[in-house]
Amino acid sequence: MLTAWKRRSDLAFLNEVSSVPLQQALRHLQKAYTGFFDGRTAYSRFKQKRHLTGSAEYTKSGFTFRGGELKLAKHDAPLAIRWSRELPYGADPSTVTVTRDAAGRWFVSLLVKQDIPTLPKRDNAIGIDAGLTALLTMSTGEQIINPRHERRDRARIKQRQQDLSRKQKGSTNYRKAQVRLARTHARVTDRRHDVLHKLTTRLVRENQTICVEDLHVRGMLGNHTLARAIADASWSTFRRLLEYKADWYGRELVVIDRFFPSSRTCSACGTLKSKMPLAARTFTCPECGHAEDRDVNAAKNILAAGLAVAACGDGVRPKRR
């Protein structure tokens, strides 16, 4: 069918690129339909050529990589690439993916096989409580202030959205306004990912065991008062980065049951309070009188529960009374 499509006048643009990414797109479509009929994914959505985003995947027969220069099939010269990092010595890429984001930026990803050495073992263990005022609170008492990247650029985003709404949909000015808005969003996303990458790398390097809560972020986004702040904190991305970095470098990531009452339990004596409203920023134990910042108290409870999981190999059930 692909060969027949290339002969059609309305699909002549398919001949402008190599056949390799076209064949890969059909393989991806097959994978998407297989996932849909198995009940694992949603129905595949149609991608239009005029959309700002897109990607093309090249296998071995669709590119050459020699002397640090990458040349794609049907290209006369190597791509002018600004490398973000050096490839491992003797790297032999098996797949090259070229991607364009909504901001009009082009990225090239090279898939290479590399053995990542594990880090030396350490005796440190840490519990982490995620929040909004403090992005992360450690069991050591350290707090990472929430940068609130989206709030800092909220006025600019609003202005770009208003500019877009005034343009005629489908016009050249409309597409230019789309790109300006996408660049503003990309600026927020890049800053957020930069902070999360630095935090997760530091945590993995300094600690052997890292304990976090299993937060139901999708359910929390139903709170319309805090939804924007929760989305800006990007707790799901934080956990995803921690998971693969801990796996890479031989660290242990322990995830505590989401119903574990870490904020209502005293980290000193274990007493469980019946209520702990969100406005109360200090935890005071009614039994032993222990008083501490609620987030630090929760982080200490998460650490204790995580060490119990690591030692016993079983989940942590919430206290019923």
Check whether residue 169 and residue 305 sit in a common domain. Answer: yes
262 has pLDDT over 70? yes
- 23 and 93 within one domain: yes
Residue 213 sits in the same domain as residue 268 = yes
For residue 303, being part of any structural domain is answered with yes
If asked whether residues 176 and 99 sit together in one domain, one would say no
Q: Are residues 129 and 105 in the same domain?
A: no
Q: Does residue 39 sit within a domain? A: yes
Nearest CA to 59 out of 87, 113, 99, 21 is that of 21
pLDDT averaged over every residue in the chain = 90
Domain co-membership, 85 together with 198: no
Residue 296 reports pLDDT greater than 50: yes
Domain-located, residue 317:
no
Per the CB < 8 A criterion, the answer to whether 133 and 230 are in contact is no
Task: Please tell me whether residue 188 adopts helix, strand or coil conformation.
Answer: helix
Q: Does residue 255 share a domain with residue 136?
A: yes
pTM: 0.85
Name the band, by pLDDT with cuts 50, 70 and 90, for residue 321: very low
Confidence of residue 28 (pLDDT cuts 50, 70, 90): very high
Angle at 92 between CA 87 and CA 96, to 5 degrees: 80
* Residue 307 in domain: yes
- Domain total of the chain: 2
Per-residue pLDDT, 130:
92
Residue 61 counted as domain residue: yes
Do the domain assignments include residue 226?
Answer: yes
Residue 77 CA: distances (Å) to CA of 15, 19, 63, 87, 107: 19, 18, 11, 21, 17
- Residues 263, 294 contacting (CB under 8 angstroms): yes
Question: How many angstroms separate the CA atoms of 20 and 61, rounded?
Answer: 8
Q: Average pLDDT of 190-211?
A: 95
Same domain, 184 and 106: no
Domain boundary pick from 78, 111, 144: 111
Q: Please indicate, yes or no, if residue 118 is contained in any of the structural domains.
A: no
pLDDT in the model for residue 114: 85
What does the pLDDT average to over 162-188? Answer: 94
Q: Establish if 321 belongs to a structural domain.
A: no
Contacts of 225 (CB under 8 A, 6+ apart): none
As beta bridge partners, residue 130 has 136
Whether the pLDDT of residue 64 is over 60: the answer is yes
201/82 same-domain check: no
The structure tokens listed for 88 are: 């491992």
- What value does the mean pLDDT take over residues 262-274? 87
> Which range, of 28-32, 52-56, 276-280, averages the lowest pLDDT?
276-280
Q: Which residues have a catalytic role annotated?
A: 129, 213, 295
Same domain, yes or no: 77 and 204: no
SS3 content of the chain, % helix, strand, coil (to 5): 40, 20, 40
Asked if pLDDT for residue 115 goes beyond 80, the answer is yes
Domain shared by 274 and 134, yes or no? yes
Question: Which tens digit of pLDDT belongs to each residue from 208-246?
Answer: 999 999 988 989 898 888 899 999 999 999 999 999 999
Assign 313 a pLDDT band (cuts: 50, 70, 90). low
pLDDT of residue 317 exceeding 60: no
Among 111, 146, 172, the domain boundary falls at: 111
Compute the distance between CA of residue 45 and CA of residue 265 in angstroms, rounded to an integer.
Answer: 46
Which tokens hold the place of 105? Answer: 């930026």
Residue 254's domain comprises: 125-312
The answer on 257 and 131 residing in a single domain is yes
What integer pLDDT is reported at residue 303 of this predicted model? 92
What's phi and psi for 134, nearest 5 deg? -105, 125
